[in-house]
Amino acid sequence: MSIAPVAITELIHVQLESLVASMGEPEYRAKQLRNWVYKSLVFSFEEMTDLPLAFRQRLERETRLHSLGIVQEAAGQDGTLKALFSLADGKTVESALMYYDRKSAGRRCTVCVSTQAGCAIGCPFCATGQQGFERNLTPGEIIDQVLYFAHRLQGKRNEGKNNKEKAKRITNIVFMGMGEPLANYDALWQAIEMLNSPEGFGLGARNMVISTAGLVPQIKRLSQEKLQVGLAVSLHASDNVLRSRLVPINRKYPLEQLIPACQDYCRLTGRRLSFEYILFSGINDSITQAHALAGLIQGLNCHVNLIPANTTDDLSFRPPYRRVILAFENELKQCHINVTLRESRGEDISAGCGQLRSRRTFASPEQKCYTF
């Protein structure tokens, strides 16, 4: 089996400079190349017009610009874009671009990024969890999901230069797609550093959020990092019996370990974390459970995102009635817990993690990259 040439987005700054030097080019060519990839968002070496033709041709022969291929894209009525990508080995991953327009938060274009092909956590309500774990994504495969949607938005801006509604750019990145981000820590962090770097994509660290099912050692490691990236913990239950059913990693890192790790994270970083709580009808949506949740996290510098379950073919995990959701939210507020009821996005295009992938035959490894 042949090994695919290295993708430019896999390389940190010093590696890119070394590659350029090995091709006999001056050091400043590395900066030019980075600008084309991360600022101008081009998708061919041919477009890099300030690079010598011979250099571009050699890059074309010996490297790849990106590491993903687009298999399918779906657009929802609310503007959500869902993309299914193929990797060089034929495996597939999903990403989504979601638009928000709130008075409290302003206009946002958020990319939901995958960090693994499949997932080993095995949450029974998650389509990805039912597909099993295949492999970790590389830094370039993580970065390229963001660059794909940035490129799409750039196209929209060019189509409507006089239309403010179309003048959108990526404002936020959430690592909440397929996989457990903290189980792929090193690749994730390299991607974050490049997406944050002024010489890379240049997005502020505070505009990025890592979601975890509760890997305690990695939460402790994250609390030592200098970049102020946000943390969201998928909680979904306030007792070990139910949480172990919904989030099986709880059997290894129960609440007695998870909550202190969250407390330490807040103390060491000075940042507020989020708890994600998906509401399932008749499972974790009672007033008693809301009160227990409030007691579990009382005193923590945190915010709860309530998320009604996605409607799927699995009737075991249905969303509650609206009145039940609102009663749960109100109970948390009565207990002085900061809480937001999150909007559902892209339900008409199966935007939940893994749903599009599970309905699609895996792509061929020979598929060309970014043929859009």
**Is the sign of the CA dihedral 46, 52, 57, 62 positive or negative?**
negative
Out of 94, 134, 329, 331, which one is annotated catalytic? 94
316 Cβ neighbours under 8 A, 6+ residues apart: 124, 125
Out of 123, 126, 353, 369, which one is annotated catalytic? 353
> What is the SS3 assignment for 67?
coil
The Cβ of residue 56 has, within 10 Å, a number of other Cβ atoms equal to 17
Distances (CA, A) of 35 to 66, 149, 192: 14, 17, 17
Query: What is the distance between the alpha carbons of residues 1 and 3, in angstroms, rounded to a whole number?
Result: 7
Alpha helices per DSSP H over the chain:
13-22, 28-34, 53-62, 139-159, 185-196, 216-222, 240-246, 255-269, 287-297, 322-334, 355-358
- Among this protein's residues, is 353 annotated catalytic? yes
- Among this protein's residues, is 256 annotated catalytic? no
Would you name the residues annotated as active-site residues?
Answer: 94, 353
